[in-house]
Each structure stands twice: as C-alpha cells, then as structure tokens.
Amino acid sequence: MSSSSGRVIAVDTHDIRFPTSRELDGSDAMNPDPDYSAAYVVLRTDADDALEGHGFTFTIGRGNEVQVAAIEALRPHVLGRPVDELCADPGSLVRDLTGDSQLRWLGPEKGVMHMAIGAVANAVWDLAAKRARKPLWQLLADATPEWLVAQVDFRYIADVLTPEDALHLLRRGREGSAARTELLRERGFPGYTTSPGWLGYSDEKLTRLARQAVADGFTQIKLKVGADLADDMRRCRAARAAVGPGIRIAIDANQRWNVGEAIEWTKALAEFDPYWIEEPTSPDDVLGHASVREAVAPVKVATGEHVQNRIIFKQLLQAGAVDVLQIDAARVGGVNENLAILLLAAKFGVPVCPHAGGVGLCELVQHLSMFDYVALAGTVEDRVIEYVDHLHDHFLDPVVIGEGHYMAPTAPGFSATMRPESIAEFTFPGGAFWAADLAERARGEQRTAKGRKGEAA
C-alpha cells in the first residue's frame, strides 16, 4: 500500500440541533417535544482525491453531547487507517470498534456506544461509495455475495443465520437484479408518509395533510397514537374519512403501552382498519411483541426503529413476533449490521419497511432498501420506506420523492453530507441560531428576575 493513497487524518465531530420542538413536528405519545439533532462525524484523509466520509447518529436533542463524546471515544481506532484498506473492508474497522474490550463494557452493542459505532461505520461507507463513484445502494448491489458476507458479523446470530445461509440468499438475490435496477431507476421505491399524523396536529391539519398525501401519490400514511384513546379514535376516523378505504393507515404507539394495553388499544382501533400497529410496547420485549401479534391479527405488528442490534432482531423473527421489520440506518452498527438484519429478514421472508424521518434518516435508509430490492429480497411487495418532509434541505443530496416513491440516488456516496452552512448555523450551543436563541432566553430570564424583584419590593 503506497502512502500516497492516503490515511485518515481527522475525525471531526459536530453537535447539531434543529429547533423542531417549536412546531410540534415529530410529536408523538412518548416524544412530545423533540429537537431533531445529529451527532455528526466527518472523516478527513490526506488522499489526493480530497473526499470525506460523513456519518451521524440521530437524536432528539438533550444528550446529543453524550453521543458526540461516544464518537470521540472511537477516534483512536480510526485515525491513521489507510484509506484504501478501510474502504475495501469497512467490516474490519467495525469489528475493531465493537471488539474494543473496554468500550464494549458500555453496551455491549447497544445504546450510546453502539450508535456511535454506527455513525463512524456509516461515514466509512459514505467515503467508500464516494471513492467508488457510486451511490451506496449500487455499490452494495454490485458487490459479490462473498464480499458482502465478509462484511457481516455472525457472532450471536449463527444459530439462525450462517455465512453459508447468507451466501445462498445473496446468490439467489442476484438473479434478475439487472432488470430490477432498471425498474428502480425508472419508478423508484415506494414510500409512505407520516407527515399528516403527528400527535400535536389539529384534526383539520391531519385531514388536510392526509388528503394531500393521497394526492401526492402515497398509498400509505401513518398516525401517531397512544396518548388518549378517545382522541385516537377521533383522529383515526378523520384520517380514514380523508383517505378512503383503499389507502393503508399505519398506527404508531412509540412504545407507550404495556402488553395488555397494547392489545386492548389496538383492538379498539381495529374498526378503522389499521394496516400495522408500530412499536406497541418496549423494543426489548420480544415475547411481548409475540403476544401482541397473536392477539391483534389481522392487524400487523411492526417494530425496529429502537431495536438495538441484530440479536434482538434475530429473536423477533425466531419468535414470530413481527409481521414487518423496521430497520433504522443510524441506530445499529452501521451498514454492516443492517446487512445482517436484512439477511435475517430475507431468511424468514419478513418484509423490511425502514424507519425514517428525523435528520437525514430518509437520506441514508433509502440506500439499504434499494439494495434489498435489487439484490436480496428482490421485491417491493408490501415494502415501503417511511417518509417525513423534514430538514432535507440541509443535505447536499436530499431525497427526491416522485409519485409517492423514493427516486434512486445517483450521486456517489451515502447521501449523508450535510451543507456546511447548516452545520455552522445549527451547531449547539455555539452556532448562529443557538447563540442568538440562548442570548434571547438569557435576556428573558433577566426581565423575569427584574419583574420578580419589582413585585417583591
């Protein structure tokens, strides 16, 4: 390896927060006031091509600084790595990151440390795809089954999915992939929209946005539920009236319920023909989801956005606990672990309908679904990617939606690169937006304190 091919010379981190809580965008039964945020990482190299790898973890505000600290704890593993080797085998880095015996204690493979690993791994994949001059979905679809299998960590899942199983699935997945690539480029991948259904919206806004969604070509919408049953019934009725019988309405409780509550509440909403109930209870509760699924059929059970790793996904499939698997691009250990999860889903024949929204999650996860369609599952039947119309303008290569479909990205990379001016403005607490905001709050507090003094005097 010649030194001119470059090494990683910097792992820059950014604490970026958008003040979304002020509009009640993104409000649900568990998350009343999220400030959509990213713990953002940029890998810089001294290679001649001057390409950077961008990655991030999505959070909803407070604690984003903890996530940044976790990414920084990984820095020594990344600095100095030869770029060619890194991009030729991102899995080698991921194994080092998950295998750091001291950091592993903080998980293992879950929560803050694991999300940090995902951010760094995804930054490497972004760099690898940029260097290959391909959008990530295509890099994955063009890769050999053998190479893809080598990117997967089979530890703790080999009792259900062996490397040989994975090879078989990927070889089968390649059959007809050229034709599917053409179809994908032409039509895109189906999406569904959550934009009408935030809990903080009025019925009028819900109805208007639901109609708009159908007009825009979406065949599925989603409503947040779980705070108040009477409200949920009224909102589901309004949504069903707005979209008619032919459109799927998913409902999403964001982990609000115990198992028993989940069953009762879902049955109470069944008259509005919900397509799936999402996150009925804790994402850790495999057996709980199995109970819910058995009780609420034919309403389907979906979960995954908060599922911590491939080991829980494995068990959700083993236990027959879900009808729909919802991967998230930035919660597990990056593309590598999502490959494992896509392979598990393929083995069990369960459709993958990714979670998205937040900051940049749509941008990332579309690549994984498109790879799944072209080169693994081989179908879009009952597959949809969540779409939320938030914050896309902050990205250099934002998602493009046409007729309710995600259009296939064509730019090289993982669509993860945020605009430099957005990073500058929304860096917390020093960026222009937050500096002004915090100064304004401080003035407000001063005025209040003076008022109180006046009263007391």
Q: Which of 14, 114, 300, 355 is catalytic?
A: 355
Q: Are 405 and 188 in contact (CB under 8 A)?
A: yes
3-state secondary structure of 408: coil
- Among residues 5, 96, 156, 348, which is the contact residue for its own copies, using CB under 8 A? 156
Which residues touch 386 (CB under 8 Å, ≥6 apart)? 191, 192, 193, 194, 222, 326, 353, 354, 355, 356, 357, 362
> Closer CB to its own copies, residue 158 or residue 178?
158
Give the CA distances from residue 76 to residues 4, 11, 101, 110, in Å, rounded to whole numbers and listed in that order.
21, 9, 14, 20
**Could you say whether residue 448 binds its own copies (CB under 8 A)?**
no
Is 355 marked active-site?
Answer: yes
Nearest residue to 413 (alpha-carbon basis) of 393, 388, 400, 396: 396
Of 100-108, 130-138, 237-245, 389-397, which segment contacts its own copies by CB under 8 A?
100-108
Structure-derived torsion over alpha carbons of residues 225, 365, 122, 324, reported in degrees to the nearest 10:
60
Q: Which of 54, 77, 224, 289 is catalytic?
A: 224
Q: Footprint of its own copies on residues 337-376 (CB under 8 A)?
A: none
Region of residue 359 (left: phi > 0; alpha: psi -120 to 50; beta: else): beta
Q: How far apart are CA 402 and CA 360, in angstroms?
A: 18
**How does strand 53-59 pair with strand 220-224?**
unpaired
Q: Are 349 and 172 in contact (CB under 8 A)?
A: no
Question: What's the helix, strand, coil split of the chain in %, to 5?
Answer: 50, 15, 35
* Cα distance between the two ends of the chain: 77
CB of residue 65 to its own copies, shortest distance in Å: 7
- Among residues 149, 225, 259, 296, which is the contact residue for its own copies, using CB under 8 A? 259
Q: How far apart are CA 248 and CA 387, in angstroms?
A: 14
**Could you say whether residue 62 binds its own copies (CB under 8 A)?**
yes
Tokens 């691009």 locate to 329
**Could you say whether residue 212 binds its own copies (CB under 8 A)?**
no
Partners of 197 in beta bridges:
223
> Closer CB to its own copies, residue 209 or residue 362?
362
- Among residues 208, 306, 347, 383, which is the contact residue for its own copies, using CB under 8 A? 306
Q: How far apart are CA 101 and CA 108, in angstroms?
A: 9
**Phi, psi at 260, each rounded to 5°:** -65, -45
**Could you say whether residue 282 binds its own copies (CB under 8 A)?**
yes
- Among residues 7, 12, 24, 30, which is the contact residue for its own copies, using CB under 8 A? 30
**Could you say whether residue 295 binds its own copies (CB under 8 A)?**
no
- Among residues 308, 326, 415, 427, which is the contact residue for its own copies, using CB under 8 A? 308
CB of residue 282 to its own copies, shortest distance in Å: 4
**Could you say whether residue 204 binds its own copies (CB under 8 A)?**
no
**Could you say whether residue 34 binds its own copies (CB under 8 A)?**
yes
- Among residues 2, 3, 4, 102, which is the contact residue for its own copies, using CB under 8 A? 102
Residues that bind its own copies (rule: CB under 8 A) add up to a total of 60
Nearest residue to 67 (alpha-carbon basis) of 32, 92, 104, 39: 39
CB of residue 70 to its own copies, shortest distance in Å: 5
Q: Convert residues 159-198 into a mask of x (bound to its own copies by CB under 8 A) and - (unbound).
A: x---------------------------------------
- Among residues 6, 196, 283, 333, which is the contact residue for its own copies, using CB under 8 A? 283
> Closer CB to its own copies, residue 73 or residue 411?
73
- Among residues 85, 89, 95, 111, which is the contact residue for its own copies, using CB under 8 A? 111
> Closer CB to its own copies, residue 283 or residue 413?
283
> Closer CB to its own copies, residue 60 or residue 238?
60
Tokens 């698997």 locate to 325
Strands (E), 263-384: 274-278, 300-303, 324-325
Is 130 marked active-site?
Answer: no
Q: How far apart are CA 20 and CA 36, in angstroms?
A: 6
Of 46-54, 211-219, 287-295, 385-393, which segment contacts its own copies by CB under 8 A?
287-295
Active-site residues, by number, are 224, 355
Q: Using CB under 8 A, list all residues that contact its own copies.
A: 30-35, 59-63, 65-67, 69-70, 73, 100-115, 154-156, 158-159, 255, 258-260, 281-288, 291, 306, 308-309, 311-312, 314-315, 318-319
